[in-house]
């Protein structure tokens, strides 16, 4: 047996070593693996049979059977909270029976003990794979209680339950209540399960806090003792710890509701948010149940009802997720989203998929939980003894005074903007008062008091269409949203409290609407607010990681108000079916009609403002598509784009909108590769519009003149004459110099060189030209797991292939030198037939253990002879995976197509790769395009496996 256990331990260690490099969290898997491999042991360490084995071995299966019965009733026949109560009752009974069975096997004298449920077990909120949190309090001989605790813990672990069992004496419990606010908080909702012995918890409390009884009152005693200790320590430190813990948890699990794969329990808007409210209400108001929240200060019955409905929705999702996953999985990943959408009876329609409907509902419920929980905690915190420092603020103190107004009193209460008692009386005379509040808060650099925020939310529910369409209201709203200095926090409050969608109902269909992909991280409305804020940062010159050109663009942009409105409304057409850009332009023209009638706008809104913003909304994807999917060295590309834009003012505005839109799709590092492409398109188009003689030959001539001034090596100057114009016009000066230096100093085999040019690195691969070399180069990158951002293919007059690969990420540390060596080795071996790159790619896919699940992406191939003058354009959209570029280029080679340009673009799980190809120097016959598209699609799908590019 010892040898078997050693073998098991070795197995676990091997899995642990693999997990160090794995992407997923293996803790739940390892937990169950250890349970499977562990052997029940007796008190002396000898093997033992499980206590009451026939009865106990059926406990887990009976519990899971009960789970299955309850899940079948969700969500139509019972609520998530009702299911949790049913599972908790089952487990209560099981714990009591296991307790009694444990006591039967030990000496029962010399101690008294009580077993308490904590956490979700105490709140009767068990989910199928929740942890069992228990506390064993005892008085007496420690040696006598140890077999009880060990026996109960072992019995539960043998049944594959996750259990946390704390064992403390009465004295230890008293000390920890005094010293550890976290432990004290965990006991505020403790619930007694069972006890043993005549003695109860006679010494749990300090003498100043008398006990009220035994038996069923023990749990109440323990709860009251924990609450009393927190109060004795001071409500202020407790509330400070609660709010700090809330903030830290949100940051740890993703500081936004709108995560692609939200955490249902601990994430922002998850179950833990309301549980934090429950703990706080228990300490401050002796509230013992979520059902009694309406009895707490500042909580209306309607608010409590809505919050509990949202809590129940998320609880239902957690039940279904645990049941579907088969373990304690609280992260709603993509495959489970699709499965739970079906379980929750969501259906697809012309606007959105069933899974998108599910996630929209979740985000709305999570928003309710997060907003109300935060608001209640803030109000309770402010009223728990915060000092008051009031001063009057009159509206005429602000800069927004389009007409003479009587000042209405606002006051600084507890460090925040609040309204005085007669504030409501000013509403009939000045309906825009609800918007002006935010302007005052912005200029005073203060947040809204929770009471005032609640008043704003109540007003948003009661105000009607006539108020929303009032010219003064629309004018004040436009001024608020397009003021560069108004913070995102205040704009978010304006949005979250309901005023924005009341004034602009066109926005309601995209509220909480999400794309089911891993590229669009945020819901559409949240992405729009991020884009608005990003545009303000650009205009203020504060855009993070901004390049000089973008900062200059922001400083000199004409009509910044148009950019801000386009940033806010660019996706307003989504969620309606059809081309959202066209729909959004039409919707904004309706909005512009109302803006034209607005009172107080300076300068007033005109028809040309509406048309320019509508044009930006309609074209907001055009520049990104041109820059990432068209050859920017092709003069016809620049001509087409310049003709579409028509003016320098529109070019500047569209470039700025494209930049802030790209920046706001998801958090994380800026894509310098995409921004570089955007800059190149902007620069070439602006040069063409300013000087028609700025085409490809002129750009190449400029580069030759620059090189002639800088180079001193006659060999390099001679080699420069053999470089194609496309290369000289497209590549930065540093890259061209590196190419000439490499050509002038030849070495054996393929030459590989890493060049730092601008904000992203490029890899030069130079060697003899031959059919299929691009496919070989791409496969070598894939075999090394390198992400390629794009590729340009050139051939010199003397048949030397020069391929320039842009990398999506920079190699870390000393990895650049290692990358160059390994690339050269692999390419030379592959060209010599000494290595199978396909096999290496397959091995790398296999080594990426349990990769992240992603939504499916349908392969789509389109070919066109209309978009370029000399080549056929091939566009491939497919699942972004390891080796995709190598797969496509190999397929094109099989079709005897020559690749001149390869452009790579990724949108999360989706890759869009574009190739400019010819056959024997000519475009492909138009009649062959459909069959080639079908062949490419079949080849890519046949090779498709999950993985990175």
- Is the domain of 756 the same as that of 860? yes
What percent of the chain is modeled with pLDDT above 90? 48
Q: What is the pLDDT of residues 543-552, one digit of tens each?
A: 988 888 898 9
Q: 362, 382, 402 — which closes off a domain?
A: 382
Q: What is the pLDDT of residue 196?
A: 87
Which of 84, 143, 152, 163 minimizes the C-alpha distance to 114? 152
**Interatomic CA distance for residues 201 and 207, integer angstroms:** 13
Q: Which two tokens stand for residue 290?
A: 């979520």
**Interatomic CA distance for residues 782 and 949, integer angstroms:** 7
Domain that holds residue 920: 746-943
CATH code of residue 90? 3.30.460.10
Residue 27 forms part of a structural domain: no
- Is the domain of 395 the same as that of 376? no
Q: Which two tokens stand for residue 370?
A: 């997060």
- Is the domain of 441 the same as that of 427? yes
The full length of the chain comes to 949
Q: What is the pLDDT of residues 417-468, one digit of tens each?
A: 888 766 766 666 778 888 988 988 888 888 888 888 888 888 888 888 889 9
Among 126-130, 276-280, 417-421, 632-636, where is mean pLDDT lowest?
A: 417-421
The answer to whether the beta carbons of residues 914 and 817 sit under 8 Å apart is: no
**Interatomic CA distance for residues 418 and 9, integer angstroms:** 63
**Interatomic CA distance for residues 283 and 289, integer angstroms:** 12
The answer to whether the beta carbons of residues 231 and 258 sit under 8 Å apart is: no
Which of 374, 375, 372, 376 minimizes the C-alpha distance to 250? 374
- Is the domain of 876 the same as that of 908? yes
**Interatomic CA distance for residues 729 and 638, integer angstroms:** 13
**Interatomic CA distance for residues 508 and 574, integer angstroms:** 11
- Is the domain of 719 the same as that of 600? no
Q: What is the pLDDT of residue 385?
A: 55
Q: What is the pLDDT of residues 855-899, one digit of tens each?
A: 678 899 999 998 888 899 999 998 888 788 889 998 999 999 988
- Is the domain of 366 the same as that of 409? no
Using omega within 30 degrees of 0 as the cis cutoff, is the peptide bond preceding 75 cis?
yes
Q: What is the pLDDT of residue 708?
A: 94
Which of 630, 628, 634, 637 minimizes the C-alpha distance to 674? 628
**pLDDT at residue 492 greater than cutoff 50:** yes
- Is the domain of 656 the same as that of 708? no
Name the pLDDT band for 38 (thresholds 50, 70, 90).
Answer: very low
The answer to whether the beta carbons of residues 396 and 405 sit under 8 Å apart is: yes
Tokens 């870390």 label which residue?
A: 812
Residue 9 forms part of a structural domain: no
**Interatomic CA distance for residues 415 and 898, integer angstroms:** 68
Among 116-130, 790-804, 834-848, where is mean pLDDT lowest?
A: 834-848
Residue 31 forms part of a structural domain: no
**pLDDT at residue 24 greater than cutoff 60:** no
- Is the domain of 892 the same as that of 769? yes
- Is the domain of 415 the same as that of 534? no
Query: How many CB atoms are closer than 10 A to CB 266?
Result: 17
Q: In what order do the strands lie in the sheet with 416-419?
A: 392-394, 409-413, 416-419
Coil vs helix vs strand at 405: coil
Which of 286, 274, 279 minimizes the C-alpha distance to 187? 279
CATH code of residue 559? 1.10.3210
Q: Which two tokens stand for residue 304?
A: 């409590």
Longest dimension (CA), the chain: 102
Kindly give, in sequence order, each residue whose CB lies less than 8 Å from that of residue 553, ignoring residues fewer than 6 positions away. 538, 652, 655, 656, 659
- Is the domain of 808 the same as that of 884? yes
Q: What is the pLDDT of residues 582-627, one digit of tens each?
A: 999 999 999 999 999 999 888 999 999 999 999 999 999 999 999 9
- Is the domain of 873 the same as that of 891? yes
DSSP code for 330: -
CATH code of residue 299? 1.20.120.330
Kindly give, in sequence order, each residue whose CB lies less than 8 Å from that of residue 54, ignoring residues fewer than 6 positions away. none
**What percent of the chain is helix, strand and coil (3-state, nearest 5)?**
55, 10, 35
- Mean pLDDT, to the nearest integer, of 907-928? 88
- Is the domain of 245 the same as that of 285? yes
Kindly give, in sequence order, each residue whose CB lies less than 8 Å from that of residue 30, ignoring residues fewer than 6 positions away. 12, 15, 16, 19
CB-hemisphere CA count at 13 Å for 827?
A: 27
- Mean pLDDT, to the nearest integer, of 517-536? 84
Tokens 């395009």 label which residue?
A: 929
DSSP code for 50: P
**Interatomic CA distance for residues 393 and 484, integer angstroms:** 23
The answer to whether the beta carbons of residues 67 and 323 sit under 8 Å apart is: yes
Residue 22 forms part of a structural domain: no
Q: What is the pLDDT of residues 938-947, one digit of tens each?
A: 999 888 754 4
Kindly give, in sequence order, each residue whose CB lies less than 8 Å from that of residue 272, ignoring residues fewer than 6 positions away. 249, 265, 266
- Mean pLDDT, to the nearest integer, of 83-89? 97
Which of 15, 262, 51, 246 minimizes the C-alpha distance to 147? 51
Residue 495 forms part of a structural domain: yes
Q: What is the pLDDT of residue 273?
A: 97
Residue 948 forms part of a structural domain: no
Residue 49 forms part of a structural domain: yes
Q: What is the pLDDT of residue 218?
A: 61
Number of structural domains in the chain = 6
**Interatomic CA distance for residues 44 and 231, integer angstroms:** 45
Q: In what order do the strands lie in the sheet with 163-169?
A: 163-169, 132-140, 111-118, 191-196
Residue 546 forms part of a structural domain: yes
Q: What is the pLDDT of residue 439?
A: 87
The answer to whether the beta carbons of residues 482 and 442 sit under 8 Å apart is: no
Alpha carbon 423 to its chain centroid, in Å, reads 40
- Mean confidence (pLDDT) of the chain: 83
């Amino acid at each position: 047996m010892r040898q078997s256990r050693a073998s098991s331990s070795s197995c676990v260690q091997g899995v642990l070593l693999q997990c160090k490099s794995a992407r997923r969290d293996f803790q739940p898997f390892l937990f169950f693996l250890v349970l499977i491999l562990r052997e029940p042991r007796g008190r002396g360490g000898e093997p033992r049979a499980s206590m009451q084995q026939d009865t106990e071995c059926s406990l887990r299966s009976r519990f899971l059977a009960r789970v299955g019965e309850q899940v079948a009733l969700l969500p139509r026949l019972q609520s998530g909270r009702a299911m949790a109560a049913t599972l908790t009752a089952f487990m209560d009974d099981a714990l009591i029976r296991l307790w009694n069975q444990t006591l039967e096997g030990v000496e029962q004298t010399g101690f008294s003990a009580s077993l308490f449920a904590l956490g979700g077990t105490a709140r009767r909120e068990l989910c199928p794979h929740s942890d069992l949190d228990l506390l064993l309090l005892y008085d007496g001989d420690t040696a006598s209680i140890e077999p009880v605790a060990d026996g109960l813990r072992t019995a539960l672990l043998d049944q594959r339950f996750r259990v946390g069992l704390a064992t403390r004496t009465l004295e230890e419990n008293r000390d920890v209540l005094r010293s550890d606010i976290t432990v004290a908080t965990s006991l505020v909702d403790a619930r007694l399960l069972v006890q043993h012995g005549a003695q109860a918890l006679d010494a749990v409390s300090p003498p100043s806090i008398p006990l009220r009884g035994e038996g069923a009152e023990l749990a109440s005693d323990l709860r009251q003792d924990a609450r009393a200790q927190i109060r004795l320590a001071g409500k202020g430190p407790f509330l400070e710890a609660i709010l700090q813990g809330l903030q830290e948890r949100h940051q740890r699990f993703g500081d936004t509701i709108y995560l692609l794969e939200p955490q249902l329990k601990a994430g922002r808007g998850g179950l833990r948010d309301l549980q934090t409210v429950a703990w706080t209400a228990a300490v401050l108001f002796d509230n013992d149940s979520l059902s009694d929240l309406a009895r707490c200060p500042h909580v209306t019955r309607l608010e409590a009802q809505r919050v509990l409905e949202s809590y129940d929705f998320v609880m239902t999702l957690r039940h279904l997720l645990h049941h579907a996953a088969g373990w304690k999985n609280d992260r709603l990943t993509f495959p489970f989203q699709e499965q739970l959408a079906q379980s929750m009876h969501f259906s697809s329609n012309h606007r959105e998929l069933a899974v998108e409907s599910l996630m929209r509902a979740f985000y709305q419920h999570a928003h309710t939980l997060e907003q109300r929980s935060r608001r209640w905690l803030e109000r309770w915190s402010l009223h728990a003894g915060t000092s008051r420092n009031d001063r009057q603020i009159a509206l005429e103190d602000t800069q927004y005074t389009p007409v003479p107004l009587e000042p209405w009193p606002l006051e600084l209460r507890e460090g925040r903007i609040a309204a005085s008692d007669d504030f409501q009386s000013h509403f009939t005379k000045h309906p825009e008062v609800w918007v002006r509040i935010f302007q005052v808060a912005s200029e005073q650099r203060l947040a809204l008091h929770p009471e005032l925020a609640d008043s704003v939310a109540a007003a948003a529910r009661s105000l009607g269409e006539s108020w929303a369409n009032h010219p003064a209201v629309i004018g004040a709203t436009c001024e608020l949203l397009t003021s560069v200095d108004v913070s995102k926090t205040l704009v978010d409050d304006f949005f979250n409290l309901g005023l924005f969608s009341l004034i602009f109902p066109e926005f309601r269909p995209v509220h909480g609407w999400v794309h089911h992909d891993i590229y669009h991280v945020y819901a559409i409305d949240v992405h729009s607010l991020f884009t608005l804020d990003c545009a303000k940062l650009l205009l203020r010159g504060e855009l993070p990681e901004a390049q000089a050109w973008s900062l200059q663009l922001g400083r000199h942009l004409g009509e910044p108000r148009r950019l801000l409105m386009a940033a806010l409304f660019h996706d307003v057409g989504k969620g309606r079916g059809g081309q959202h850009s066209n729909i959004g332009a039409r919707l904004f023209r309706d909005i512009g009609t109302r803006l034209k009638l607005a009172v107080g706008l300076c300068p007033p809104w005109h028809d040309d403002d509406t048309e320019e913003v509508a044009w930006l909304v309609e074209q907001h994807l055009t520049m990104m598509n041109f820059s990432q999917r068209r050859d920017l060295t092709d003069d016809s590309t620049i001509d087409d784009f310049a003709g579409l834009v028509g003016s320098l003012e529109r070019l500047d505005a569209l470039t700025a909108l494209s930049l802030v839109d790209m920046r706001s799709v998801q958090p994380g590092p800026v894509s310098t590769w995409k921004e570089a492409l955007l800059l190149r398109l902007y620069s070439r188009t602006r040069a063409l519009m300013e000087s028609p003689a700025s085409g490809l030959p002129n750009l190449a001539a400029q580069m030759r003149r620059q090189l002639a001034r800088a180079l001193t090596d006659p060999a390099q100057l001679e080699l420069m004459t053999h470089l194609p114009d496309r290369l000289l016009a497209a590549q930065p000066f540093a890259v061209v110099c590196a190419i000439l230096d490499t050509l002038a100093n030849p070495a054996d085999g393929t030459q590989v060189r890493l060049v730092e040019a601008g904000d992203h690195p490029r890899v030069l691969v130079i060697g003899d030209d031959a059919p299929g070399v691009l496919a070989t180069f791409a496969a070598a990158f894939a075999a090394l797991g390198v992400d390629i951002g794009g590729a340009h293919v050139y051939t010199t007059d003397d048949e030397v292939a020069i391929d320039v690969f842009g990398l999506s990420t920079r190699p870390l540390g000393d990895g650049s030198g290692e990358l160059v060596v390994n690339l050269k080795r692999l390419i030379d071996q592959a060209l010599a037939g000494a290595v199978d790159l396909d096999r290496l790619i397959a091995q790398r896919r296999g080594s990426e253990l349990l990769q992240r699940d992603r939504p499916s992406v349908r392969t789509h191939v389109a070919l066109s002879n209309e978009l370029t003058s000399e080549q056929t354009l091939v566009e491939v959209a497919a699942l972004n995976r390891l080796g995709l570029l190598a797969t496509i280029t190999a397929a094109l080679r099989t079709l005897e197509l020559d690749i001149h340009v390869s452009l790579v673009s990724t949108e999360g799980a989706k890759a869009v790769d574009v190739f400019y190809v010819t056959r024997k120097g000519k475009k492909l016959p138009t009649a062959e395009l459909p069959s080639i598209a079908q062949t490419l699609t079949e080849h890519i799908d046949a090779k498709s496996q999950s993985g990175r590019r």
